[in-house]
Amino acid sequence: MAVMTRDNFGELMTPIHKKIFFDAYDEVPKKYEKIFKVEKMTGKKQSYPHLGAFGLWKTNTEGSDFNEDNFEEGEVASFEAKRYDKSYVLTWELMQDDQYNVMKGIGKGGSAKGLGRSLRATEETDTAKVLSGGFENTGYDAKALFAEDHPLASSEQTCSNLIEGSLRDETLKAALTLMRQQKDEAGIPIAASAKQLVVCPELEFVAKAVVHSILQSGTNNNDVNTLPNLDIVVWDYLSDATGATKPWFIQDTSIDNLLFLRREEPIFDSERIQKKMDYRMFGYTRYDCGYCDWRGLVGSKGTDE
C-alpha cells in the first residue's frame, strides 16, 4: 500500500472500507429474497393497477349476438422509492494513530462492517413489517393485507386470506384450504396453492413438527400426516418483541404478491469534509417494499382467541 498522506488519505482508505462494507452486507443470505419478488424500479413511483376479470362464458344459440361482458377497473397498488443512507467520519489523526483499527474498516462513530450489516438489517426489518403489520394496515383495497372481506372488482363477493389461531395441524390445513378458495376479481377460483410456510423463530420447531411428522401432529391417534411438504422459512425479523403474537403465513410463490423494488443499488463512497482534513464515509440506496396483491397469501397472528 502506498504511503498515506493528507492528499491521498480518502483515495487510499475508501476502497478498503468499500470492500468491507459490501462483504458485510452480503455475508449472510438475505432471507426476504425467499419471500419477496425483487425487481428493479423504472422510476421514482411504480404502480400495479388491478383490472377486473370476465366471468364464466355463457352458452349461446346459432345466429344470436355475442354475449357481452364488462371489464371493470379495480384499485391500484402504488410504490414510491425511499432514500436510505448512513455515514461515519474518519479523521486524519485517527487514521495516523490507527485507533480502533482504522485500516481494518473501523472508524470513529461507526465502521464499514457495521454499516453493511446495518443496511442488510434495515432491508429485512422493512420487509418483515409488511407482514407483521399486515393485520392492521390499510392496503390498496381499503382492507388490511390479511382480511376476511377483500372486495372483488367485478363481483359482489368478498374473499378471505385471514386465519385465526396458533400454528398447528388443524389451523395449517384450514389455511391451505382457504388459499385454494381464493378467487379472481370476477369471483372465479384461481387455483392458488401454497409452496412455503413462513414463521417467526419462536415457531421454528413447531412448524417442522407439523409439516414433517410422519403421523398427524398434535394428536394421540395414528392418522398419517397428510400435509404437503411445504418449504419452511424461519424469519428472525418476524419475531414480536412483546410476545403478544407469533405470526405465521403460507405463500404461493408463483403469484406476484410481495415486492421489493430497488430504485438504486447500494453504493459506498467518501467525501472530503469542508475546511477539515477529515473524510466522511457514506452508504446510500433507494427502494420500497410492500404488496401488489393479497392473493397467494394466508396469514395468522398466531394467537388463539
Asked whether the beta carbons of 287 and 261 are under 8 A apart, the reply is yes
The average pLDDT across 227-232 equals 88
- What number of other Cβ atoms are within 10 A of residue 156's Cβ? 7
The average pLDDT across 208-226 equals 68
pTM of this prediction?
A: 0.85
Q: Is 298's pLDDT higher than 90?
A: yes
The average pLDDT across 6-25 equals 77
Q: In whole angstroms, what is the distance from residue 34 CA to residue 71 CA?
A: 34
pLDDT tens-place string over residues 31-89: 999 999 999 999 999 999 877 666 777 888 887 877 777 667 778 899 999 999 999 88
User: For residue 1, is it within any domain?
Assistant: no
Could you write out the DSSP letters of every residue in 103-117?
GGTEEBTEEHHHHHH
> What's 224's DSSP letter?
B
Q: Is 212's pLDDT higher than 50?
A: yes
User: What's the pLDDT score for residue 273?
Assistant: 83
Overall number of domains in the chain: 1
Q: Which amino acid is at 128?
A: A
The average pLDDT across 210-233 equals 72
User: For residue 116, is it within any domain?
Assistant: yes
User: For residue 185, is it within any domain?
Assistant: yes
User: For residue 270, is it within any domain?
Assistant: yes
User: What's the pLDDT score for residue 247?
Assistant: 96
Q: In whole angstroms, what is the distance from residue 175 CA to residue 254 CA?
A: 17
**R_g (Cα) of the chain, nearest Å:** 25
> What's 194's DSSP letter?
-
The residue segments making up the domain with residue 272 are: 9-44+77-300
The average pLDDT across 125-145 equals 96
User: For residue 34, is it within any domain?
Assistant: yes
Q: In whole angstroms, what is the distance from residue 96 CA to residue 102 CA?
A: 9
Q: C-alpha cell of 115?
A: 454499516
Q: C-alpha cell of 285?
A: 440506496
The average pLDDT across 254-281 equals 90
User: For residue 65, is it within any domain?
Assistant: no
Report the CATH number that the domain containing residue 194 is assigned in CATH.
3.90.1690
121 sits in which H/E element: helix 112-132
Could you write out the DSSP letters of every residue in 35-70?
TSEEEE-SSSEEEEEEE----------TTPPPP---
Asked whether the beta carbons of 182 and 147 are under 8 A apart, the reply is no
Q: Is 109's pLDDT higher than 50?
A: no
User: What's the pLDDT score for residue 302?
Assistant: 94
User: For residue 101, is it within any domain?
Assistant: yes
User: For residue 52, is it within any domain?
Assistant: no
